[in-house]
Chains A and B, each alone.
Chain A
Amino acid sequence: MSRTWAYLSNYLVYSSMAVYTLSFFAHAIETAWAVRVTTEDSKKNIDYKRTEKVARIATAMMILGFVLLFAGVVARGVSAGRVPWGNMYEFSITGAMAFSGAYLAALRKYDLRWLGLLVSIAVLLTLGTAIAVLYRPSAPLVPALKSTWLVIHVSAAIISGGVFLLANAIAAAYLYLDAMESRGERTAWAKRLPSLEDLDQLSYRLVAFVFPLWTFAVIAGAIWAESAWGRYWGWDPKETWAFITWVAYAAYLHARVTVGWRGRKAAWLCLFAGSTFLFNYVYVNIWGTGKHTYSGL
């Protein structure tokens, strides 16, 4: 029974990859057409509807991919009889889901479709690595992980991570466009992207929105550590890097709100903070030692 669910989960994850790939192509075509539309003389009659139509298809595919991946993650959980956050394969598929979910959620409020190409590439790479390198058969949890806090702590951390990475992508776009503008005018395709000011604001809002959740994830982890390991804080490498990420984002928020940093400096700080999160995920899980490393990643 559990094996059937595990197979179903694998099929769903594979299918979501196929759909994300379609979304990626649609985004690529949309970007290419948008470039042509902006390059050609706007007085000529150009069919803008086509670009719009492809963009809609791209988003629809992204939503479908998200739904399939969500189902895949749920099936994985059912197959193991627990929340699907027991090893790095499961973190990765859930993380990819959170990242595209954060993008889709932000899309309801802001027109971020220009970012869709990047998001679909990142999701595909994450899923590909997860399946090729990190895959482990579905198995029950070791005793230390058997706790309600697994659901609370890990879900908070994964959602925070998804939003942090989205903020990072926007900060990176800011820096790229900023460099382009300082050399002169924006190139044709970049003209349709939001203004620097909007990007700056957006990445700040995403961080400010999710920082309390990250704080909660760290504190929930501490409460769990107290009952599982006998201490709420022990400078375990994972804890240390979670703290570093927290400090980096706290510094970012202070720099913006109190000192008035904007633009380039703020974007670099945002990128730095986000990279501490990624480092924590990749380095500590794979090469690190400590209590957060469980057998087989």
Chain B
Amino acid sequence: MSQEIEVPELGSVGLLRYGWRQLTSMRTALILLLLLGIAAIPGSLVPQRTQNPIKVGEYFKNSPELSKWMDRFSLFDVYGSPWFSAIYILLFISLIGCVLPRTIEHFHAARALPPATPKNLDRMEHHSSWTAQGDELDKARAWFKSKRFRVLERDGSISAEKGFTRETGNLFFHLALILILLGISFSSLFGMRGMAIVNVGERFVNTTTSYDSLNYGKLFSESNLSDFALTVDKFTAKYNVLTSAPEDYTLEVSFAKDDLTKTEKRTIKVNSPLKLGNTSIYLQANGYSPVVTVRDSKGNVAMQGPVPFLPQDANLRSIGAIKVPDADPQIGFVGSFVPTYSRSGADGAVSVFPEALDPRLLLAAWVGDLGLDSGVPQSVYRIDTSKMNQVGLKSLKPGETFIYPQGSITFEGYLQWVNLEIVNDPGKNYALLGGIVAILGLLASLFTRRRRIWIRVGKSVEVAGLAKNAAPGLESEMAEFVAMLKGEK
């Protein structure tokens, strides 16, 4: 047996209104909140492109089919994915739809007077009555005033209310969350973030071409790059002699802003970046650049200078590539730099300490086509040797030269390099403000209780109280109130 239920036509406006009500209902908000938490999980289990692109690459190499499918669901970019964005955008719309009407309502309620004293106080909680002395109403008035209750006095009775801070704090907390989100969006639209490797002694001028990698928001323009230049004067790294663990990194720079001819000495450390308005300059990593001179068979210099190598372990064994495209034929060196040399049976040359106590440069020389003109982007730390022939292997101390049939390479020494990260984050102060307001709002909303206290004085005194959500603590407050009225103190 079936029964047709007649449903009134909603119409498109009605449907929209229905949808809006569903979205802004507490239940939906709660589900969205839980969903957001669950949706954040995969990003902590699967490597993410923004944090660990190398591991993502390994994933694709090891299981290409699976990775392709995972990529379709943005599992390598969870926090920028459409589905993650959808959840938090819906959550924030729901939040706004819930908080704004409540703010308006609260604004009116906060200015309204408390409702009149109920007729039958003996039906309320915390009720007590005793014979009147006569001055109870005055005492109560003064007490309420000193405790900053809002009062309505009428016909020998006072109705007092307190605890609006609870809802105020609650609303401020939620508005602050919106502020944090706005701050984050503002940064991602107007901010920039770039990395540059700079050798000690070199100068960095803040223009787009100085960066090794640079990302900026949709609304960021190059003219927003703040005007500054810095020269890396000195980099000091201190290590624990037993464990090789780093203990301190200090970077000294000559810094110039606006007028680039006036420099001042500044220091950058790991926990104290150099700040210039919304721009901060961070010391992120460091390593060694072997300095080499490459000569052709006639003794002409084909290339000279420091080449940054990439650290591989805690003792800064570093690998890199020296490419000499101008030589004929082209020459490339696949190299490994160890700051404190030692031999280990299984691994060959290893470094036993991160400071350059006994540096070595180990080179494999390759001759042929470096493949730089093929158009395929190449890592500066690696060489594609598929079209090259190896012509020799050599381990060099500083000052030594390796001679091979097509020329020679001299290991002149080494420089340290630092990796500077330069970040312009215009929204972070809003996010910080949002964070502070959120905590204050949370404290206010979790630790204040909304309650009403009534007193009516005739032949006898009658008092009663009511706490919203049966919040604890009213009992002792009522006891104090009654004791005060009776003059017991």
Question: Taking A142-B245, A146-B270, A254-B33 as contacts, is the C-beta distance between A237 and B44 under 8 angstroms?
Answer: yes
Q: Assess the B432–A143 pair: CB atoms within 8 A.
A: no
- Smallest CB–CB gap between A111 and chain B, Å? 17
Determine, out of B114-122, B140-148, B439-447, the stretch whose residues face the partner at the interface: B439-447
Q: Assess the B30–A140 pair: CB atoms within 8 A.
A: no
| A227, A236, A255 — most chain B CB neighbours (10 Å) | A227
* New contact pairs (20) apart from A215-B438, A229-B282, CB-CB < 8 Å: A142-B245, A143-B270, A212-B439, A212-B446, A219-B439, A223-B432, A227-B272, A230-B273, A230-B423, A231-B193, A232-B431, A232-B432, A235-B79, A247-B33, A247-B40, A248-B37, A251-B33, A254-B30, A259-B27, A259-B30
Q: Which residues of A contact B55 (CB under 8 A)?
A: 289
Chain B residues with a Cβ closer than 8 Å to the other chain, count: 52
Q: Assess the B435–A251 pair: CB atoms within 8 A.
A: no
* Interface hits, A212-266 → B, CB 8 Å: 212, 215-216, 219, 222-224, 226-237, 240-241, 243-244, 247-248, 250-251, 254-255, 257-259
Q: Assess the A254–B29 pair: CB atoms within 8 A.
A: yes
* Interface hits, A95-147 → B, CB 8 Å: 139-144, 146-147
* Interface hits, B3-52 → A, CB 8 Å: 26-27, 29-30, 33-34, 36-37, 40-41, 43-44, 47-48, 50-52
Contact of A230 among B33, B52, B249, B282 (CB under 8 A): B282
Q: Which residues of B contact A229 (CB under 8 A)?
A: 282
Contact pattern, A 195-215, Cβ under 8 Å of B = 1, otherwise 0:
000000000000011011001
Q: Is A297 an interface residue (CB 8 A)?
A: no
| A146, A209, A223, A234 — most chain B CB neighbours (10 Å) | A146
Q: Which residues of A contact B312 (CB under 8 A)?
A: none
Question: Taking A143-B271, A244-B41, A254-B30 as contacts, is the C-beta distance between A235 and B428 under 8 angstroms?
Answer: no
Q: Assess the A227–B273 pair: CB atoms within 8 A.
A: yes
Q: Assess the A208–B446 pair: CB atoms within 8 A.
A: yes
Contact of B247 among A140, A224, A290 (CB under 8 A): A140
* Least CB separation from B244: chain A residue: A295
Q: Is A288 an interface residue (CB 8 A)?
A: yes
Q: Which residues of B contact A289 (CB under 8 A)?
A: 47, 52, 55
Q: Assess the B249–A143 pair: CB atoms within 8 A.
A: yes
Can you list 28 A-B pairs with a CB-CB distance of less than 8 A?
A140-B245, A142-B246, A143-B248, A143-B270, A144-B270, A211-B442, A215-B442, A219-B438, A227-B273, A228-B271, A229-B282, A230-B273, A230-B421, A230-B423, A234-B51, A235-B44, A235-B51, A240-B40, A240-B43, A240-B44, A243-B40, A248-B34, A251-B33, A254-B26, A255-B30, A276-B37, A284-B44, A289-B55
Q: Tell me the complex Cα distance, A209–B246, Å.
A: 39
Q: Tell me the complex Cα distance, A268–B26, Å.
A: 20
Q: Which residues of B contact A241 (CB under 8 A)?
A: 44
| B29, B34, B428 — most chain A CB neighbours (10 Å) | B34
Q: Tell me the complex Cα distance, A234–B428, Å.
A: 13
Contact of A147 among B245, B271, B438 (CB under 8 A): B271
* Interface hits, A272-287 → B, CB 8 Å: 276, 284
Q: Which residues of B contact A146 (CB under 8 A)?
A: 248, 270-271
Q: Which residues of A contact B246 (CB under 8 A)?
A: 142-143
* Least CB separation from B423: chain A residue: A230
Q: Which residues of A contact B26 (CB under 8 A)?
A: 254, 258-259
| A143, A149, A216, A255 — most chain B CB neighbours (10 Å) | A143
- Smallest CB–CB gap between B426 and chain A, Å? 13
- Smallest CB–CB gap between B445 and chain A, Å? 9
Q: Assess the B432–A236 pair: CB atoms within 8 A.
A: no
Q: Tell me the complex Cα distance, A74–B77, Å.
A: 42
Q: Assess the A235–B50 pair: CB atoms within 8 A.
A: yes
Question: Taking A211-B446, A216-B439 as contacts, is the C-beta distance between A143 and B51 under 8 angstroms?
Answer: no
Q: Is B301 an interface residue (CB 8 A)?
A: no
Q: Tell me the complex Cα distance, A295–B48, Å.
A: 22
Q: Which residues of B contact A235 (CB under 8 A)?
A: 40, 43-44, 48, 50-51, 78-79
Which 9 A-B pairs have CB atoms at the shortest separation, nearest pair first?
A247-B37, A143-B270, A219-B435, A237-B44, A240-B44, A230-B282, A147-B271, A212-B442, A244-B37
Contact of A139 among B193, B245, B284 (CB under 8 A): B245
Q: Assess the B37–A257 pair: CB atoms within 8 A.
A: no
- Smallest CB–CB gap between A211 and chain B, Å? 7
Q: Which residues of B contact A212 (CB under 8 A)?
A: 439, 442-443, 446
- Smallest CB–CB gap between B31 and chain A, Å? 9
- Smallest CB–CB gap between B48 and chain A, Å? 7
Question: Taking A139-B240, A232-B428, A240-B44 as contacts, is the C-beta distance between A227 and B271 under 8 angstroms?
Answer: yes
Question: Taking A230-B423, A290-B51 as contacts, is the C-beta distance between A144 and B271 under 8 angstroms?
Answer: yes
* Interface hits, B397-441 → A, CB 8 Å: 421, 423, 425, 428, 431-432, 435-436, 438-439
* Interface hits, B436-484 → A, CB 8 Å: 436, 438-439, 442-443, 446, 469
* Least CB separation from A224: chain B residue: B271
| B37, B55, B443 — most chain A CB neighbours (10 Å) | B37
Q: Is B63 an interface residue (CB 8 A)?
A: no
Q: Tell me the complex Cα distance, A241–B37, Å.
A: 9
Q: Assess the A247–B36 pair: CB atoms within 8 A.
A: yes
* Least CB separation from A280: chain B residue: B44
Q: Which residues of B contact A149 (CB under 8 A)?
A: 271
Q: Is B374 an interface residue (CB 8 A)?
A: no
Q: Assess the B240–A143 pair: CB atoms within 8 A.
A: no
Q: Tell me the complex Cα distance, A147–B132, Å.
A: 63
- Smallest CB–CB gap between B434 and chain A, Å? 9
Q: Tell me the complex Cα distance, A139–B272, Å.
A: 22
Q: Tell me the complex Cα distance, A295–B284, Å.
A: 17
Q: Which residues of B contact A247 (CB under 8 A)?
A: 33-34, 36-37, 40
Contact pattern, B 223-248, Cβ under 8 Å of A = 1, otherwise 0:
00000000000000000100101111
